[in-house]
Amino acid sequence: MEMAKVVRNWWSHSKTVVLIWSICIAIYFSLLRLALNNSSSLGYTSTIDSPVSNMEQRSRLYDKMERDLDENGPAFLKHGGTTQSLSLSDIFTLKDGSVKPVHKAANPPVRANVLYLSPEYSVPISESAKQVFHPYFGKAIWFQNSSLYHFSMFHASHHIVPVPATEDEIEAEATAVGAVAEGLCPLKIVLDRVVLTSTGVLLGCWQVISGPDPVTIRAKLRSALPRAPEKQLYDDAILHTSFARLLGHPKVSSTEPSKELHVSHELVARLNSIIRGAEVVISELWYVEEYDVLALALDGRMKERRFRLGCKRT
C-alpha cells in the first residue's frame, strides 16, 4: 500500500519534470530559430570577402520571395473589387483609358544610389515581360520604363528616415559616390529567376558572375556616406530590378481567386522560361535625387548623376 503510493508520487513527479524540461527545450529552440532568422534578415550572416555565402544568402532570400505570393496571398487581387478597379489606386489612376502614375512630391527628396541597367539589356527583358503579361492584364499593369531599369543599392536619405541636405552637402555626397564608382569594376550578372510578390510587383532576382558583390558595394557606399540612414530598405545581399506592377485582376474566364492565382503563377513561369539565365553587364552607378515619391519606378521628377564603374585601384 505504502509502496504503491511512493511509486505513484514518484511517477507524477517525473511527469512534471519531463513536462518542464520539454517546455524549456521548446522555448530554447524557438528562441534560437528567431535569433537565426533575425541575423539572416539583417544581413549579419554575410561577410564581405565571402562571395559564396553572399550567393547563398541571395538564394535563400529569393526562395523566400518566391514563396511570398502563396504564403501571403495575392493582395493585388484582393483590393480591386471589379476587373476595372486598380488595387494600388493611391499610386495609379486610370486616365483616358490608360494607367497613369500619380506623382507626389517627396519632401525632402529621396537620395538613392542605384546600379543602372542599360537599354541594350533592359529593352529585350521589358519586351518579353510585356509580351507575356499584357494579354492577360491589359491596363491593370504598369510596366517599368525600360530606360530606367535599376538595382537599388543604398540610400543617402529615404522616406522612412529622411536626412535633409544642403546643396553643398548633396554635391559632396555625389562626389563621394563618384569616387566609389571609380574603384568598382563592372559586374557581370545573371538573371537567377523572376518572382511575383504578394503585392503584385514583378521582380528580376540576379546573381553575380564576376565583379564586386552587392554586399561590398553597399559597404563602400556606407563608408562614403556616413550620414546615411543606419537602417536601409533592403537586405545587403539582394540584387533585384522591378519589371512591372500588377494592379488588378487578370482576364480569365473565371473570377475564381484560385484560378487567377494559378494564371499569375503560369505567367511568371512562362516569363522565366524566356528570360531566366540572361546575362548582362552593369557599368554605371547613379546618384539620384528623386523629387517625387518612387520617381525612378514611376517616371517622376528626378535628377541623376551617372558614374561609370572605373575599375581603378584605390
Q: Minimum CB separation from ligand NAG for residue 282, in Å?
A: 18
The pairing of beta strand 187-196 with beta strand 141-143: unpaired
Which of 307, 294, 309 minimizes the C-alpha distance to 109?
Answer: 294
Alpha carbon 73 to its chain centroid, in Å, reads 17
Binding mask 99-138 for ligand NAG (x = CB under 6 A): ----------------------------------------
- What is the distance between the alpha carbons of residues 278 and 193, in angstroms, rounded to a whole number? 10
Number of H helices, E strands in the chain: 8, 11
The pairing of beta strand 187-196 with beta strand 201-210: antiparallel
Task: Check binding of 147 to ligand NAG (CB under 6 A).
Answer: yes
Task: Check binding of 72 to ligand NAG (CB under 6 A).
Answer: no
Q: Minimum CB separation from ligand NAG for residue 190, in Å?
A: 25
Q: Which is nearer to ligand NAG, 127 or 299 (CB)?
A: 299
The residue of the chain with the least Cβ separation from ligand NAG equals 145
Binding mask 286-305 for ligand NAG (x = CB under 6 A): -------------x------
Q: Which is nearer to ligand NAG, 208 or 288 (CB)?
A: 288
Using the contact rule CB under 6 A, the part of the chain among 9-17, 142-150, 152-160, 195-203 near ligand NAG is: 142-150
How many residues of this chain interact with ligand NAG, rule: CB under 6 A? Answer: 4
Q: Which is nearer to ligand NAG, 148 or 221 (CB)?
A: 148
Q: Minimum CB separation from ligand NAG for residue 304, in Å?
A: 9
Half-sphere exposure of 119 (CA within 13 A, CB side): 4
Backbone φ and ψ of 171, nearest 5°? -60, -45
Q: Minimum CB separation from ligand NAG for residue 24, in Å?
A: 59
Q: Which is nearer to ligand NAG, 137 or 286 (CB)?
A: 286
Dihedral sign, Cα of residue 274, residue 276, residue 281, residue 286: positive
For 168-205, b/e burial (b = at least 16 CB within 10 A) is eebeebbebbbebbbebebbebebbbbbbbbebbbbbb
Contact assessment for residue 243 and residue 128, using Cβ atoms and an 8 Å cutoff: no
Q: Which is nearer to ligand NAG, 62 or 142 (CB)?
A: 142
- What is the distance between the alpha carbons of residues 81 and 104, in angstroms, rounded to a whole number? 25
From the list 148, 195, 202, 282, which residue makes contact with ligand NAG (rule: CB under 6 A)?
148
From the list 38, 145, 210, 273, which residue makes contact with ligand NAG (rule: CB under 6 A)?
145
Which of 204, 186, 197 minimizes the C-alpha distance to 125?
Answer: 204
C-alpha cell at 178: 563618384
Using the contact rule CB under 6 A, the part of the chain among 145-153, 187-195, 225-233, 280-288 near ligand NAG is: 145-153
Using the contact rule CB under 6 A, the part of the chain among 125-133, 144-152, 181-189, 198-206 near ligand NAG is: 144-152
Residues that bind ligand NAG (CB under 6 A): 145, 147-148, 299
